[in-house]
Structure 1
Amino acid sequence: MINSCESSWESLHKYGFYTGYFRGYSFTGSEGTWKELDDTGTDGVIAVDCFEDIQDEKWANAGG
């Protein structure tokens, strides 16, 4: 699995963990939105990223 959460890289390298929040991108009808991931699974989620990258518009950090 590729970690495309650029905001986590320094913390993971320095401390070995990251305490930020992850979001999943999914569609309801024709509307796409980022939502919190929960315990119900990731059905319909087409992308996962950390909130900090979404907020700071760091879109190009995922490989592939």
Structure 2
Amino acid sequence: MYDYQFVRVPITYRSGQIESASYQEVTAQHAREGWRLVQILIENPAAVAAEYVLIFERPIQQP
């Protein structure tokens, strides 16, 4: 069985390009905590996306 975590990350733009540092930092931090990135999605796509939803999973620790 797996535990899932959904993390919203604001999308930041610099010179018209998406700044990847924001979601890379979140992904690296979760990886250090034992989470695995499953998917990145944009929940409500619009002309300009405002945030990503990062989906992480990790095995549930059995007692």
Structure-2-length-normalised TM-score: 0.27
- The structure with the largest helix share of the pair is 1
Q: Which one has a bigger Cα radius of gyration? A: 2
Higher strand share: 2
Instruction: Give the TM-score taking structure 1 as reference length.
Output: 0.26
